[in-house]
Structure 1
Amino acid sequence: MPELPEVETTRRKLLPLFLGKRLLGIEHQDPLRYRYTERAEGRGVEEILRRGKFLLFALSGGLEMVVHLGMTGGFRLEKTLHTRVAFQLEDREIFFHDPRRFGRIWVVRKGDYQKIPLLLQLGPEPLSEDFRFHEFWLGLKGSQKPLKALLLEQRLAAGVGNIYADEALFRARLSPFRRGRELTEAEAQRLFAALKKVLAEALLLGGSTLSDRTYQQPDGLPGSFQMRHAVYGRTGLPCPVCGTPIAKRVVAGRGTHFCPRCQGF
Protein backbone atom coordinates (compact mmCIF):
# COMPACT_ATOMS: atom_id res chain seq x y z
CA MET A 1 0.00 0.00 0.00
CA PRO A 2 1.36 3.47 -0.78
CA GLU A 3 2.51 5.13 2.43
CA LEU A 4 3.44 8.71 3.32
CA PRO A 5 6.44 9.02 0.95
CA GLU A 6 4.55 7.55 -2.01
CA VAL A 7 1.40 9.60 -1.42
CA GLU A 8 3.34 12.82 -0.87
CA THR A 9 5.38 12.18 -4.03
CA THR A 10 2.12 11.64 -5.92
CA ARG A 11 0.71 14.89 -4.51
CA ARG A 12 3.71 16.88 -5.65
CA LYS A 13 3.57 15.41 -9.15
CA LEU A 14 -0.18 16.07 -9.43
CA LEU A 15 0.00 19.72 -8.34
CA PRO A 16 1.08 21.22 -11.69
CA LEU A 17 -1.42 19.01 -13.53
CA PHE A 18 -4.51 19.88 -11.46
CA LEU A 19 -3.86 23.21 -9.76
CA GLY A 20 -5.98 26.03 -11.15
CA LYS A 21 -7.79 23.69 -13.56
CA ARG A 22 -11.50 22.89 -13.65
CA LEU A 23 -12.77 19.35 -13.37
CA LEU A 24 -15.01 19.17 -16.41
CA GLY A 25 -16.03 15.58 -15.73
CA ILE A 26 -15.24 12.51 -13.62
CA GLU A 27 -16.12 9.26 -15.35
CA HIS A 28 -16.38 5.84 -13.66
CA GLN A 29 -18.75 2.91 -13.28
CA ASP A 30 -18.55 2.39 -9.52
CA PRO A 31 -20.52 4.88 -7.39
CA LEU A 32 -20.01 2.76 -4.25
CA ARG A 33 -16.23 3.15 -4.38
CA TYR A 34 -16.18 6.66 -5.88
CA ARG A 35 -18.87 8.59 -4.05
CA TYR A 36 -20.63 11.83 -4.99
CA THR A 37 -18.08 12.63 -7.69
CA GLU A 38 -20.73 14.48 -9.67
CA ARG A 39 -20.50 17.25 -7.05
CA ALA A 40 -16.96 18.01 -8.21
CA GLU A 41 -17.82 18.54 -11.86
CA GLY A 42 -17.28 22.12 -12.95
CA ARG A 43 -15.29 22.96 -9.82
CA GLY A 44 -11.80 24.43 -9.87
CA VAL A 45 -8.92 22.73 -8.06
CA GLU A 46 -7.53 25.27 -5.59
CA GLU A 47 -4.99 23.12 -3.73
CA ILE A 48 -3.91 19.53 -3.17
CA LEU A 49 -2.96 18.62 0.38
CA ARG A 50 -2.11 15.34 2.06
CA ARG A 51 -3.17 13.93 5.41
CA GLY A 52 -1.60 10.59 6.28
CA LYS A 53 -2.24 8.39 3.23
CA PHE A 54 -5.12 10.55 1.96
CA LEU A 55 -4.96 13.16 -0.81
CA LEU A 56 -7.21 16.19 -0.25
CA PHE A 57 -8.19 18.16 -3.36
CA ALA A 58 -9.57 21.55 -2.27
CA LEU A 59 -12.29 22.51 -4.76
CA SER A 60 -14.05 25.79 -5.39
CA GLY A 61 -17.36 26.28 -3.65
CA GLY A 62 -16.20 24.80 -0.34
CA LEU A 63 -15.95 21.18 -1.49
CA GLU A 64 -13.16 18.67 -1.08
CA MET A 65 -12.31 15.55 -3.06
CA VAL A 66 -10.70 12.98 -0.78
CA VAL A 67 -8.69 10.21 -2.46
CA HIS A 68 -7.27 7.11 -0.79
CA LEU A 69 -5.04 5.07 -3.08
CA GLY A 70 -5.74 1.77 -1.33
CA MET A 71 -3.27 -1.05 -1.93
CA THR A 72 -2.61 -0.62 -5.65
CA GLY A 73 -4.11 2.73 -6.64
CA GLY A 74 -2.27 5.54 -8.39
CA PHE A 75 -2.64 8.27 -10.97
CA ARG A 76 -1.49 7.83 -14.56
CA LEU A 77 -1.14 10.14 -17.53
CA GLU A 78 -2.28 7.44 -19.95
CA LYS A 79 -5.23 5.05 -19.81
CA THR A 80 -4.37 1.53 -18.64
CA LEU A 81 -6.05 -1.87 -18.49
CA HIS A 82 -6.92 -1.10 -14.85
CA THR A 83 -8.17 2.47 -15.24
CA ARG A 84 -11.12 2.95 -12.88
CA VAL A 85 -11.69 6.71 -13.03
CA ALA A 86 -11.04 9.31 -15.72
CA PHE A 87 -10.66 12.97 -14.69
CA GLN A 88 -11.39 15.35 -17.54
CA LEU A 89 -9.54 18.65 -17.14
CA GLU A 90 -9.53 21.65 -19.43
CA ASP A 91 -6.34 20.58 -21.18
CA ARG A 92 -6.04 16.81 -20.68
CA GLU A 93 -7.33 13.64 -19.05
CA ILE A 94 -5.75 12.05 -16.00
CA PHE A 95 -6.57 8.50 -14.94
CA PHE A 96 -6.91 6.65 -11.65
CA HIS A 97 -5.39 3.18 -12.05
CA ASP A 98 -6.20 0.51 -9.45
CA PRO A 99 -5.81 -3.22 -10.25
CA ARG A 100 -7.19 -4.49 -6.93
CA ARG A 101 -9.93 -1.84 -6.56
CA PHE A 102 -9.24 -0.90 -2.94
CA GLY A 103 -8.90 2.81 -3.73
CA ARG A 104 -11.67 5.18 -2.72
CA ILE A 105 -12.84 8.69 -3.64
CA TRP A 106 -15.29 10.87 -1.75
CA VAL A 107 -16.48 14.40 -2.58
CA VAL A 108 -17.59 16.12 0.63
CA ARG A 109 -18.00 19.53 2.15
CA LYS A 110 -14.56 20.76 3.14
CA GLY A 111 -13.52 19.11 6.43
CA ASP A 112 -16.64 16.95 6.72
CA TYR A 113 -15.12 13.52 7.21
CA GLN A 114 -17.94 11.79 9.06
CA LYS A 115 -18.13 9.14 6.33
CA ILE A 116 -14.33 8.69 6.39
CA PRO A 117 -13.70 7.77 10.04
CA LEU A 118 -10.03 6.87 9.59
CA LEU A 119 -9.30 10.40 8.46
CA LEU A 120 -10.75 11.72 11.73
CA GLN A 121 -8.55 9.43 13.83
CA LEU A 122 -5.15 10.25 12.37
CA GLY A 123 -2.31 11.29 14.62
CA PRO A 124 0.29 13.97 13.82
CA GLU A 125 2.22 14.16 10.58
CA PRO A 126 5.67 12.73 11.35
CA LEU A 127 7.50 15.20 9.09
CA SER A 128 5.78 18.23 10.61
CA GLU A 129 6.36 20.33 13.72
CA ASP A 130 3.21 18.78 15.19
CA PHE A 131 5.12 15.52 15.67
CA ARG A 132 6.49 15.98 19.18
CA PHE A 133 8.37 13.46 21.27
CA HIS A 134 6.40 14.01 24.48
CA GLU A 135 3.07 13.01 22.91
CA PHE A 136 4.73 10.12 21.06
CA TRP A 137 6.27 8.87 24.31
CA LEU A 138 2.95 9.09 26.16
CA GLY A 139 1.27 7.11 23.39
CA LEU A 140 3.86 4.37 23.66
CA LYS A 141 3.77 4.21 27.47
CA GLY A 142 0.00 3.90 27.50
CA SER A 143 -0.18 0.81 25.29
CA GLN A 144 0.36 -2.91 25.73
CA LYS A 145 0.35 -3.49 21.97
CA PRO A 146 3.45 -4.54 20.00
CA LEU A 147 5.39 -1.67 18.47
CA LYS A 148 4.63 -2.79 14.91
CA ALA A 149 0.88 -2.75 15.62
CA LEU A 150 1.12 0.68 17.24
CA LEU A 151 2.88 2.17 14.24
CA LEU A 152 0.30 0.77 11.83
CA GLU A 153 -2.64 2.25 13.78
CA GLN A 154 -1.90 5.78 12.49
CA ARG A 155 -2.49 7.42 15.90
CA LEU A 156 1.17 7.82 16.85
CA ALA A 157 2.20 9.00 13.39
CA ALA A 158 -0.02 9.40 10.34
CA GLY A 159 1.00 7.79 7.07
CA VAL A 160 3.30 5.04 8.38
CA GLY A 161 2.59 1.59 6.94
CA ASN A 162 4.25 -1.77 6.66
CA ILE A 163 7.42 -0.78 4.81
CA TYR A 164 8.43 2.20 6.90
CA ALA A 165 7.39 0.68 10.21
CA ASP A 166 9.76 -2.23 9.56
CA GLU A 167 12.57 0.03 8.40
CA ALA A 168 12.21 2.47 11.31
CA LEU A 169 12.17 -0.32 13.88
CA PHE A 170 15.33 -1.77 12.36
CA ARG A 171 17.11 1.58 12.46
CA ALA A 172 16.00 2.05 16.08
CA ARG A 173 17.25 -1.48 16.93
CA LEU A 174 13.89 -2.40 18.42
CA SER A 175 11.97 -5.64 18.13
CA PRO A 176 8.57 -5.27 16.43
CA PHE A 177 7.19 -7.54 19.19
CA ARG A 178 8.16 -5.27 22.09
CA ARG A 179 5.19 -3.70 23.88
CA GLY A 180 4.93 0.05 23.79
CA ARG A 181 4.87 0.33 27.57
CA GLU A 182 8.13 -1.66 27.83
CA LEU A 183 10.27 0.95 26.09
CA THR A 184 12.64 3.17 27.99
CA GLU A 185 12.66 6.84 27.16
CA ALA A 186 15.97 6.42 25.33
CA GLU A 187 14.51 3.63 23.18
CA ALA A 188 11.47 5.76 22.40
CA GLN A 189 13.76 8.60 21.37
CA ARG A 190 15.55 6.25 18.95
CA LEU A 191 12.26 5.20 17.36
CA PHE A 192 11.01 8.79 17.15
CA ALA A 193 14.18 9.87 15.34
CA ALA A 194 14.25 6.79 13.10
CA LEU A 195 10.70 7.35 11.90
CA LYS A 196 11.43 10.91 10.86
CA LYS A 197 14.70 10.01 9.18
CA VAL A 198 13.47 7.01 7.19
CA LEU A 199 10.37 8.85 5.95
CA ALA A 200 12.38 11.91 4.92
CA GLU A 201 14.90 9.76 3.03
CA ALA A 202 12.16 7.81 1.28
CA LEU A 203 10.39 11.00 0.25
CA LEU A 204 13.60 12.40 -1.17
CA LEU A 205 13.91 9.26 -3.33
CA GLY A 206 10.29 9.22 -4.52
CA GLY A 207 9.15 6.36 -2.28
CA SER A 208 9.54 2.61 -2.78
CA THR A 209 8.59 0.76 -5.95
CA LEU A 210 8.48 -2.97 -5.19
CA SER A 211 8.88 -5.88 -7.59
CA ASP A 212 5.17 -5.86 -8.51
CA ARG A 213 5.56 -2.21 -9.63
CA THR A 214 2.08 -1.34 -8.37
CA TYR A 215 3.41 2.00 -7.14
CA GLN A 216 4.67 4.39 -9.76
CA GLN A 217 4.72 8.15 -9.83
CA PRO A 218 2.04 9.70 -12.08
CA ASP A 219 4.62 10.28 -14.83
CA GLY A 220 5.59 6.61 -14.75
CA LEU A 221 8.85 6.98 -12.87
CA PRO A 222 9.54 4.48 -10.09
CA GLY A 223 10.65 5.37 -6.59
CA SER A 224 14.13 4.27 -5.60
CA PHE A 225 14.10 3.96 -1.81
CA GLN A 226 13.64 0.19 -2.17
CA MET A 227 17.36 0.09 -2.92
CA ARG A 228 17.95 1.17 0.70
CA HIS A 229 15.59 -1.30 2.38
CA ALA A 230 17.48 -3.02 5.18
CA VAL A 231 14.80 -5.54 6.16
CA TYR A 232 11.53 -5.09 4.28
CA GLY A 233 11.11 -7.75 1.58
CA ARG A 234 14.54 -9.24 2.34
CA THR A 235 13.52 -12.46 4.11
CA GLY A 236 16.49 -14.85 4.32
CA LEU A 237 19.00 -12.31 3.04
CA PRO A 238 21.83 -11.14 5.31
CA CYS A 239 21.28 -8.21 7.63
CA PRO A 240 23.33 -5.27 6.30
CA VAL A 241 24.73 -4.69 9.78
CA CYS A 242 25.47 -8.12 11.26
CA GLY A 243 24.88 -10.64 8.47
CA THR A 244 22.15 -12.59 10.29
CA PRO A 245 19.39 -13.75 7.89
CA ILE A 246 16.39 -11.43 7.93
CA ALA A 247 13.34 -13.12 9.46
CA LYS A 248 9.65 -12.63 8.72
CA ARG A 249 6.72 -13.14 11.07
CA VAL A 250 3.18 -11.82 11.29
CA VAL A 251 2.33 -8.95 13.63
CA ALA A 252 -1.12 -7.35 13.64
CA GLY A 253 -1.99 -9.37 10.55
CA ARG A 254 0.92 -7.98 8.53
CA GLY A 255 4.13 -9.61 7.37
CA THR A 256 6.89 -8.13 9.48
CA HIS A 257 10.59 -8.19 8.58
CA PHE A 258 13.35 -7.86 11.18
CA CYS A 259 16.87 -8.89 12.14
CA PRO A 260 16.72 -11.39 15.04
CA ARG A 261 20.12 -10.22 16.26
CA CYS A 262 20.08 -6.43 15.81
CA GLN A 263 16.48 -6.21 16.99
CA GLY A 264 16.63 -8.91 19.64
CA PHE A 265 14.95 -8.47 23.00
Structure 2
Amino acid sequence: MKGSLVIDNVGDAIHSKSGEVIMPEAPDLEVIKDFLNLHVQGQSIESATILRPTVLRSLAGDFPADVQGRTFGSFQRRGKFLLGEISGGRWLVVNPMLTGAFQYCEAKERVQKKTCFTLSLDGDNELRYLDDRQMGMVYYISDDQMGQVPRLHEQGP
Protein backbone atom coordinates (compact mmCIF):
# COMPACT_ATOMS: atom_id res chain seq x y z
CA MET A 1 0.00 0.00 0.00
CA LYS A 2 1.41 3.37 -0.93
CA GLY A 3 0.77 6.29 1.43
CA SER A 4 -2.19 6.25 3.75
CA LEU A 5 -5.86 6.96 3.77
CA VAL A 6 -7.59 8.85 6.52
CA ILE A 7 -11.11 7.56 6.45
CA ASP A 8 -13.26 10.44 7.49
CA ASN A 9 -15.32 13.45 6.85
CA VAL A 10 -15.45 12.72 10.52
CA GLY A 11 -11.74 13.37 11.16
CA ASP A 12 -11.54 16.91 9.92
CA ALA A 13 -15.11 17.67 10.93
CA ILE A 14 -17.77 18.59 8.43
CA HIS A 15 -18.61 22.26 8.19
CA SER A 16 -21.72 24.01 6.92
CA LYS A 17 -21.50 26.97 4.54
CA SER A 18 -21.67 29.27 7.57
CA GLY A 19 -18.69 27.50 9.15
CA GLU A 20 -20.46 25.71 11.99
CA VAL A 21 -19.39 22.15 12.76
CA ILE A 22 -21.89 19.47 11.78
CA MET A 23 -22.05 15.99 13.26
CA PRO A 24 -21.09 13.22 10.80
CA GLU A 25 -24.11 11.95 8.95
CA ALA A 26 -25.12 8.37 8.35
CA PRO A 27 -23.87 8.36 4.72
CA ASP A 28 -20.36 9.34 5.93
CA LEU A 29 -20.33 6.49 8.43
CA GLU A 30 -21.62 4.10 5.75
CA VAL A 31 -18.63 4.95 3.54
CA ILE A 32 -16.24 4.38 6.45
CA LYS A 33 -17.96 1.08 7.28
CA ASP A 34 -17.70 -0.10 3.68
CA PHE A 35 -14.00 0.81 3.54
CA LEU A 36 -13.26 -1.06 6.76
CA ASN A 37 -15.18 -4.12 5.54
CA LEU A 38 -13.18 -4.09 2.31
CA HIS A 39 -9.70 -3.50 3.75
CA VAL A 40 -9.69 -4.56 7.42
CA GLN A 41 -12.22 -7.41 7.73
CA GLY A 42 -10.42 -10.74 8.06
CA GLN A 43 -7.12 -9.24 9.19
CA SER A 44 -5.44 -10.38 12.40
CA ILE A 45 -4.45 -7.89 15.07
CA GLU A 46 -0.78 -8.45 15.86
CA SER A 47 -0.54 -5.77 18.56
CA ALA A 48 -2.20 -2.68 19.97
CA THR A 49 -0.60 0.50 21.29
CA ILE A 50 -2.47 3.14 23.29
CA LEU A 51 -1.06 6.64 22.81
CA ARG A 52 -3.88 8.87 24.14
CA PRO A 53 -6.04 6.78 26.47
CA THR A 54 -8.77 9.38 27.05
CA VAL A 55 -11.12 8.11 24.32
CA LEU A 56 -10.70 4.36 24.95
CA ARG A 57 -12.94 2.57 27.41
CA SER A 58 -12.04 -1.09 27.73
CA LEU A 59 -14.72 -3.08 29.51
CA ALA A 60 -13.35 -6.44 28.33
CA GLY A 61 -10.01 -6.39 30.13
CA ASP A 62 -6.59 -5.02 29.22
CA PHE A 63 -7.11 -3.79 25.66
CA PRO A 64 -3.58 -4.34 24.21
CA ALA A 65 -3.21 -7.80 25.77
CA ASP A 66 -6.76 -8.98 25.07
CA VAL A 67 -7.04 -7.81 21.45
CA GLN A 68 -3.69 -9.29 20.37
CA GLY A 69 -4.12 -12.32 18.10
CA ARG A 70 -7.79 -11.70 17.42
CA THR A 71 -9.24 -11.17 13.94
CA PHE A 72 -11.57 -8.48 12.64
CA GLY A 73 -14.97 -9.66 11.46
CA SER A 74 -17.49 -7.41 9.80
CA PHE A 75 -18.16 -3.75 10.49
CA GLN A 76 -21.64 -2.30 10.80
CA ARG A 77 -23.27 1.02 11.57
CA ARG A 78 -25.92 1.66 14.16
CA GLY A 79 -26.98 5.31 14.19
CA LYS A 80 -23.89 7.40 14.96
CA PHE A 81 -21.86 4.35 16.03
CA LEU A 82 -19.52 2.10 14.06
CA LEU A 83 -19.30 -1.45 15.39
CA GLY A 84 -16.35 -3.66 14.53
CA GLU A 85 -16.78 -7.34 15.28
CA ILE A 86 -13.64 -9.04 16.63
CA SER A 87 -13.16 -12.78 17.05
CA GLY A 88 -13.82 -14.38 20.41
CA GLY A 89 -16.95 -12.36 21.13
CA ARG A 90 -15.31 -8.94 21.26
CA TRP A 91 -16.41 -5.62 19.70
CA LEU A 92 -14.85 -2.25 18.99
CA VAL A 93 -17.72 0.24 19.27
CA VAL A 94 -16.87 3.75 18.07
CA ASN A 95 -18.82 6.99 18.35
CA PRO A 96 -16.47 9.39 16.52
CA MET A 97 -18.38 12.52 17.57
CA LEU A 98 -17.00 15.60 15.75
CA THR A 99 -13.31 14.86 15.23
CA GLY A 100 -12.77 11.09 15.36
CA ALA A 101 -11.32 9.34 12.31
CA PHE A 102 -9.64 6.12 11.25
CA GLN A 103 -6.37 6.00 9.39
CA TYR A 104 -5.40 2.88 7.45
CA CYS A 105 -1.73 3.02 6.49
CA GLU A 106 1.61 1.27 6.37
CA ALA A 107 3.16 0.83 9.81
CA LYS A 108 6.24 2.82 8.78
CA GLU A 109 4.18 5.97 8.22
CA ARG A 110 4.70 8.69 10.83
CA VAL A 111 2.22 8.55 13.69
CA GLN A 112 0.26 11.79 13.92
CA LYS A 113 0.04 13.66 17.22
CA LYS A 114 -3.74 13.20 17.33
CA THR A 115 -3.45 9.37 17.15
CA CYS A 116 -5.16 7.78 20.15
CA PHE A 117 -4.31 4.13 19.47
CA THR A 118 -2.90 1.90 16.76
CA LEU A 119 -3.73 -1.66 15.79
CA SER A 120 -0.91 -3.41 13.94
CA LEU A 121 -2.45 -5.72 11.34
CA ASP A 122 -1.30 -8.38 8.88
CA GLY A 123 1.06 -7.25 6.15
CA ASP A 124 2.72 -4.33 7.95
CA ASN A 125 -0.43 -2.20 7.88
CA GLU A 126 -2.03 -0.38 10.78
CA LEU A 127 -5.49 0.81 11.63
CA ARG A 128 -5.23 3.96 13.73
CA TYR A 129 -7.89 5.92 15.55
CA LEU A 130 -7.27 9.69 15.51
CA ASP A 131 -9.14 12.31 17.47
CA ASP A 132 -7.69 15.81 17.70
CA ARG A 133 -10.11 17.00 20.39
CA GLN A 134 -10.50 13.59 22.08
CA MET A 135 -14.27 13.95 21.96
CA GLY A 136 -15.00 10.53 20.48
CA MET A 137 -15.72 7.42 22.49
CA VAL A 138 -14.27 4.01 21.70
CA TYR A 139 -15.45 0.97 23.65
CA TYR A 140 -13.72 -2.42 23.63
CA ILE A 141 -16.36 -4.80 24.92
CA SER A 142 -17.53 -8.40 24.96
CA ASP A 143 -20.85 -9.57 23.50
CA ASP A 144 -22.63 -9.39 26.86
CA GLN A 145 -21.47 -5.81 27.54
CA MET A 146 -23.20 -4.23 24.53
CA GLY A 147 -25.87 -2.77 26.84
CA GLN A 148 -23.19 -0.88 28.79
CA VAL A 149 -22.33 1.44 25.90
CA PRO A 150 -24.19 4.71 26.59
CA ARG A 151 -26.85 5.63 24.01
CA LEU A 152 -26.06 2.67 21.74
CA HIS A 153 -29.39 0.94 22.47
CA GLU A 154 -31.24 4.17 21.56
CA GLN A 155 -29.80 4.22 18.02
CA GLY A 156 -31.79 3.21 15.00
CA PRO A 157 -30.36 1.60 11.89
TM-score by length of 1: 0.43
Looking at secondary structure, tell me which structure has more helix per residue. Answer: 1
* RMSD between aligned residues: 1.8
Cα distance in 2 between the residues matched to 1:32 and 1:100: 10
Q: 1:2 aligns with which of 24, 29, 39?
A: 24
Q: Would you identify which runs of 4 or more consecutive aligned residues in structure 1 move more than 4 Å?
A: none
Bigger CA radius of gyration: 1
1:69 aligns with 2:96: yes
Cα distance in 2 between the residues matched to 1:117 and 1:75: 21
Cα distance in 1 between the residues matched to 2:51 and 2:130: 13
C-alpha contact (below 8 Å) 2:44/2:122 kept by paired residues:
yes
Q: 1:107 aligns with which of 140, 143, 156?
A: 140
Deviation at residue 33 of structure 1 after TM alignment: 2.2
Deviation at residue 115 of structure 1 after TM alignment: 2.6
Q: 1:57 aligns with which of 84, 97, 118?
A: 84
Q: CA 1:115 to 1:30, structure 2 compared with 1: closer, same or farther past 3 Å?
A: farther
Deviation at residue 94 of structure 1 after TM alignment: 2.0
TM-score by length of 2: 0.71
Q: 2:57 aligns with which of 35, 39, 52?
A: 35
C-alpha contact (below 8 Å) 1:58/1:110 kept by paired residues:
no
Q: For structure 1, list consecutive stretches of 5 or more residues without a partner in the other structure.
A: 126-265
Q: CA 1:61 to 1:77, structure 2 compared with 1: closer, same or farther past 3 Å?
A: closer
Q: What does residue range 191-202 of structure 1 map to in structure 2 within 5 Å?
A: none
C-alpha contact (below 8 Å) 2:102/2:128 kept by paired residues:
yes
Higher relative contact order (CA 8 A, sep 6+): 2
Q: CA 1:34 to 1:113, structure 2 compared with 1: closer, same or farther past 3 Å?
A: same
Looking at secondary structure, tell me which structure has more strand per residue. Answer: 2
C-alpha contact (below 8 Å) 1:64/1:111 kept by paired residues:
no
Deviation at residue 45 of structure 1 after TM alignment: 0.8
**Percent identity between the aligned chains?**
27
1:85 aligns with 2:85: no
C-alpha contact (below 8 Å) 1:76/1:95 kept by paired residues:
yes
C-alpha contact (below 8 Å) 2:49/2:117 kept by paired residues:
yes
Q: 2:129 aligns with which of 82, 90, 96?
A: 96
Q: CA 1:9 to 1:82, structure 2 compared with 1: closer, same or farther past 3 Å?
A: same
C-alpha contact (below 8 Å) 1:26/1:85 kept by paired residues:
yes
Deviation at residue 29 of structure 1 after TM alignment: 3.1
Q: What does residue range 199-238 of structure 1 map to in structure 2 within 5 Å?
A: none
